[in-house]
Structure 1
């Protein structure tokens, strides 16, 4: 009786083993399976937009922060001085602008006066012409009258040119170019002063924090990392034989090494449509690689997978195994059973 039980158990184990082996061998064609899957989260590289010495670090490694929270501060004294300097430059430009308007007013009054003088000179010249024609005026007086009219006309032209020059300099009725430049410089100085306080642009978790007060940081140099816990996906590499089943919307089952015994569901959202090929780099001749093996290694296709109800305890870099649903109840039953067994194996390995 015991021998029969042992035989039955041995046969059953062998049959199940053979069955799963056959399934795995052909799974790429019916229900692709991979152990090469990794959790990814959006990681922001936080870099200051100004340079300086760090005066205060307001966060700790692993701390959850909200959008708008201050992360660290940079010495602001130089930037405060820049603001004061820019304010002085703006004040100077405004004073010069005010003086220009006064100059324009004076030039306009001068133009009016020169026009009156021209009218008077032309009237005298016309009178001199009539007197000369009647023989009541000598040539010398007539020439003097004509010269005065010509001088008065030149004076009007000069005064008019002076008014036009000032108007060009004051082309904008409200602000001169010098004021605009000064205002821009002041706005930038104030913005740089604000940027001495580096704040979080979204909610997330601080990772690999190594900042400390007294350190000097350069503008644009990555200073810390923030993990966006809301943006999580699984990157899985499958053999290209299963490409027919690796389409957007396909359902999958997932088990994580970090969570033995648990199976999660998900869907393929997309796949990377190109793979890096180091043998055909841009602007270089192709390099042909000779492979002496009879059966070469298969190409992998990377897919991005959305995880339903992803556990927030999972970190970026967590490894997983994934199997794609076929839609056939028999194949899916075998596939789910296999991924469940894999999840139990994680208790041991």
Structure 2
């Protein structure tokens, strides 16, 4: 009786074991088939990271920090004030440049007055030339008349010589009037040339004023675009130099993308615009939609600081990685959850053919 019960229990155990084995076999077959089908239909890689533009915010002028208006990891909008640099020195330079410009501009009216005066003097000299010319004509006529009288012995030599001397004086006065007029014209031209120099000087000083205004405006450092601030490493009272990095900002307006490093044997059928599924390790239950934006022009090793040289005699063939840039759709609701550097897995459906 006991033997029969034992045999019956063994049969039940054997049957249960068989059923469990069949269930496990079916599960393994389903999982294996699904995995094999996935390998046949998709190219996958977990060598991928989320990326976005992280740019330095630099000081464009030197000075002591007056105030820091942001905190670490703060969301900012384009134009928000980040840092104030003490602008006292730059304000003084701006005031000095503005005063210098006003001084140069005030000299314009003086130059214009000098030009008018010189032109008036030239007009007076021109009138004197006309008067001297008339006097010369009169003296020349008088001299000609006395020459005839002297020839007819109706005038003495003394009278002729007197008239001749007056003629020479008239000629000298006429030449002097012409030279005075030429000198007046030359002075007028000189003043006009000085006016051109002054106009150039005004432009130069205006440029200096504009430069000082820019330098003063650079003491207020603002966010260049919508983004999120990184680590804060500056304090009030700290001296910063021109070109010094004072903060980092993540550019939210440029979007986010994933750089997936596929093996060179995986990219044969990939093309720009192909849809991609992205899974991020930080959010394993959420899939992100994207598309291939570009494929690298060379392998990642070629862009390294010291690219490998296979001609050294130590060649070992290794499948190289090709960086593929994948743009994540901005319409994806979870895109704001992603941060640069997050690890990701990428799945791309194998294209059967693409021109």
Q: TM-score interval w.r.t. the shorter chain? A: 0.7 to 0.9
After superposing on structure 2, the runs of 4+ consecutive aligned residues of structure 1 that deviate more than 6 Å are none
CA root-mean-square deviation = 2.7
Q: Which residue of 1 aligns with 2:4?
A: none
Q: Which residue of 1 aligns with 2:5?
A: none
Matched, 1:109 2:120: yes
C-alpha separation between the residues in 1 aligned to 2:96 and 2:310?
60
Q: How do 1:93-104 residues align onto structure 2 when only pairs under 5 Å count?
A: 93-104=104-115
C-alpha separation between the residues in 1 aligned to 2:339 and 2:229?
13
Q: Which residue of 1 aligns with 2:348?
A: 324
Q: Which residue of 1 aligns with 2:49?
A: 38
| Selected match of 1:307 from 303, 321, 328 | 328
Q: How do 1:36-185 residues align onto structure 2 when only pairs under 5 Å count?
A: 36-135=47-146, 138-171=163-196, 176-185=199-208
- The SS at the match of 1:146 is helix
- Gaps (5+ residues) in structure 1? 329-349
- The SS at the match of 1:249 is coil
Q: Which residue of 2 aligns with 1:228?
A: 251
C-alpha separation between the residues in 2 aligned to 1:280 and 1:312?
31
Deviation at 1:13, TM superposition (A): 5.7
Retained in 2: the 8 A contact 1:250–1:267? Answer: yes
Retained in 1: the 8 A contact 2:49–2:258? Answer: yes
Retained in 2: the 8 A contact 1:252–1:323? Answer: yes
Q: Which residue of 1 aligns with 2:25?
A: 11
Q: Paired residues, what number?
A: 317
Retained in 2: the 8 A contact 1:245–1:324? Answer: no
State the TM-score, normalizing by the size of structure 1.
0.82
Q: How do 1:168-317 residues align onto structure 2 when only pairs under 5 Å count?
A: 168-171=193-196, 176-230=199-253, 231-275=255-299, 288-293=311-316, 296-308=317-329, 309=332, 310-317=334-341
- The SS at the match of 2:208 is helix
Retained in 2: the 8 A contact 1:246–1:303? Answer: no
C-alpha separation between the residues in 1 aligned to 2:138 and 2:310?
100
- The SS at the match of 1:263 is strand
- Gaps (5+ residues) in structure 2? 1-14, 148-159
